[in-house]
């Protein structure tokens, strides 16, 4: 975060966080990102259910898609994929 952070008088009281979890884009934490090979994907959706961040959604066409704004690059999806169609790729 590059913006000026609020001081204690300004910050919301009652242990209310500065931003909601939706506004905190945690995607920039990761060093790797998942890449899905849709040619081999069987649309089982396990990656969607296993993702600890809820960053993998299911599209209209049944394929899954990673929301890189929130994906922390943990690799759980790649490890759980039964057909091994997800590869973790180092971010450049």
- Footprint of other proteins (CB under 8 A): 1, 5-8, 11-23
Write out the two tokens for 15. 């242990």
Residue with tokens 């959706």: 45
State the nearest-atom distance from the C-beta of 73 to other proteins, in Å.
19
Q: Which is nearer to other proteins, 6 or 54 (CB)?
A: 6
Alpha-carbon gap, residue 5 to 71, rounded angstroms: 24
Chain length of the chain: 92
- Rounded CA separation 13/20 (Å): 14
Cβ of residue 12: shortest distance to other proteins, in angstroms? 4
Residue 8 Cβ, how far from other proteins at the closest point, in Å? 4
Q: What angle do CA 54, 22, 61 make, to 5 degrees?
A: 45
């Amino acid at each position: 975060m590059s913006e000026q952070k609020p001081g204690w008088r300004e910050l919301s009281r009652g242990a209310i966080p500065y931003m909601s979890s939706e506004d905190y884009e945690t995607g920039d934490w990761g060093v790797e990102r998942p890449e899905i090979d849709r040619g081999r994907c069987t649309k089982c959706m396990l990656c969607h259910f296993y993702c600890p961040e809820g960053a993998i959604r299911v599209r209209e066409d049944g394929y899954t898609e990673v929301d890189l704004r929130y994906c922390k690059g943990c690799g759980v999806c790649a490890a759980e994929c039964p057909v091994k169609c997800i590869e973790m790729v180092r971010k450049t």
